[in-house]
């Protein structure tokens, strides 16, 4: 048996509730094995009241889920043009001993994420985007904010389909090894939309912090 988080949108703060049901894990890297694990996880989620879960990853059995993967979802980068969210996110990181490595915005998502400089430059201290500085607290705020920008480039029908889901998963996400998760960001979008913030990408970063986390802070030069 294994555990993976199921991110459930809810109104108010905190906006995302996390379930961790036990489910059967199917070992192996083959797509068929991973989709068996996804089906098992979703079955466990339904047993906990999640009626319509969506897997968001490149392994998702649904086109919508693969489209929403950070490897596929695009954002408008201030200098590199329209690029995958994952590449843009990695290019925005600033560490104690280096960064931002802006050229990563033009790299393939897997290459950007695996760039050794991201592991060898010290602690993450902030993000930089369009000549602005953004804090790394709350820990997922910048990633979530960037994900909303990616959702803004989808058509209305796609966003409507997201809003019909009541739980989100990412079979590869392990909270013991990672912080940011595309499934959690999608759940946050649904929560905001249910509370009337259906275009969170129009908010300033300061407004986003307040509506998404009840926090205050923001960007600076």
pLDDT tens column, 35-44: 999 999 999 9
**Cβ partners under 8 Å of residue 147, min gap 6:** 70, 73, 85, 182, 185, 186, 189
The values of phi and psi at residue 183, to 5°, are -65, -40
For residue 221, what pLDDT is reported?
41
pLDDT tens column, 169-198: 999 999 999 999 999 999 999 999 999 999
For residue 218, what pLDDT is reported?
59
Q: Tell me which residue has tokens 């994900």.
A: 147
pLDDT tens column, 107-149: 999 999 999 999 999 999 999 999 999 999 999 999 999 999 9
For residue 217, what pLDDT is reported?
62
Entry pTM: 0.96
Average pLDDT over residues 196-220: 89
Element (H, E) at 36: helix 31-47
Mean pLDDT, the chain, as a whole number?
96
């Amino acid at each position: 048996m294994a555990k993976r988080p199921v991110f459930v949108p809810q109104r108010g703060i905190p906006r995302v509730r996390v379930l961790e049901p036990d489910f059967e894990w199917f070992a192996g890297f083959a797509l068929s094995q991973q989709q068996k694990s996804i089906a098992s996880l979703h079955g466990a989620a339904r047993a906990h009241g999640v009626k319509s879960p969506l897997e968001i990853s490149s392994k998702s059995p649904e086109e919508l889920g693969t489209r929403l993967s950070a490897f596929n979802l695009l954002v408008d980068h201030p200098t590199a043009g329209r690029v995958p969210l994952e590449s843009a996110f990695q290019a925005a990181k600033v560490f104690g001993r280096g960064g931002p490595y802006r050229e990563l915005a033009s790299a393939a998502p897997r290459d950007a994420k695996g760039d050794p400089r991201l592991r060898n430059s010290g602690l993450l201290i902030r993000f930089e985007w369009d000549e602005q500085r953004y804090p790394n607290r709350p820990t997922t705020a910048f990633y979530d904010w960037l994900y909303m920008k990616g959702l803004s480039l989808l058509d209305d029908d796609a966003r409507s389909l997201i809003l019909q889901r009541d739980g989100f998963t990412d079979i590869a996400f392990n909270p013991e090894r990672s912080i940011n998760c595309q499934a959690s960001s999608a759940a946050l979008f649904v929560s905001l939309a249910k509370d009337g913030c259906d275009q969170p990408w129009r908010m300033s970063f300061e407004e986003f912090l307040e509506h998404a986390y009840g926090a205050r802070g923001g960007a600076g030069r």
